[in-house]
Amino acid sequence: MISELSDDLEPAPLRVVPAADAPFADVEAVFGTKGDPAHCWCQWYKIPGKDWRSVGDEGLRERLRTQLDSPESGPGLLAYDGDVPVGWCAVEPRANLVRLQQSRLIAGSTPDPDLADPGIWAVSCFVVPRAHRKRGVGKALTEAAVEFARANGARLVEGYAIDPTAHAKIPAADLFHGTVSMFVGAGFTEVARPNADRAIMQLRLDA
């Protein structure tokens, strides 16, 4: 078990574990069968744009299943409320996220541009089903992601947060990156602001 963290809004503690240690059926329960998560399976940053459409939903799901066979390099954590899986967080070496190398928004803004550096880990995605939102699941996952990255040799953890206060309304679909407040609550510092509603967040573990 990675952590057991008391949720500010929910008296029962949330349990966070490496997704590789959980039944894949629990991962499937979080990603669901509809909406963006079911058509991505946390593969967006891992597949070059020219290859994306050729993989298909089933191929994306099987890619994640295969990646979970290598728990020492991520790629994610699951949060539980009791025995119910309530959220997912992607955390793994940034070098695994090949599409970051093509992203001007991210790769052009991070103060640590060596995307092949194995000591830099990324928290790139959150999935919390609608029924379990506003209960501190993202907070618990962010804090556990730091612990998991540290235990696996990371010296720096980076996130690509949305700032919901930058505009009157941010589409819920855009919040899969996590919010600035979630990262700040886990000890991250804003190191770059590529645009008004996106911030590069970092937490150095070797300081």
Domain ranges of the chain: 3-204
Q: What is the model's pLDDT at position 189?
A: 97
Rounded Cα gap, residues 101 and 81, in angstroms = 36
**What is the distance between the alpha carbons of residues 48 and 150, in angstroms, rounded to a whole number?**
28
- Per the CB < 8 A criterion, the answer to whether 5 and 143 are in contact is yes
Q: Give the tokens for residue 168.
A: 């009157």
The amino acid at 181? S
Q: Which of 11-15, 98-102, 119-123, 185-189 has the lowest mean pLDDT?
A: 11-15
pLDDT tens-place string over residues 41-84: 999 999 988 899 899 999 999 999 999 987 666 799 999 999 99
The 10s digit of each residue's pLDDT in 126-156 is: 999 988 988 899 999 999 999 999 999 999 9
Helix, strand, coil abundance in the chain, percent, nearest 5: 40, 30, 30
Residue recorded with tokens 């830099």: 120
Residue type at position 51? D
Report the predicted TM-score, pTM, of the whole model to 2 decimal places. 0.88
CB-based contacts of 42: which residues, under 8 Å, 6+ apart? 64, 75, 76, 88, 90, 124, 125, 127
Q: Where are the alpha helices (DSSP H) in 6-48?
A: 24-31, 35-38
What's the topology of domain 3-204? Aminopeptidase (3.40.630)
The number of residues in the chain equals: 207
* Number of DSSP helices (H) and strands (E) in the chain, helices first: 6, 8
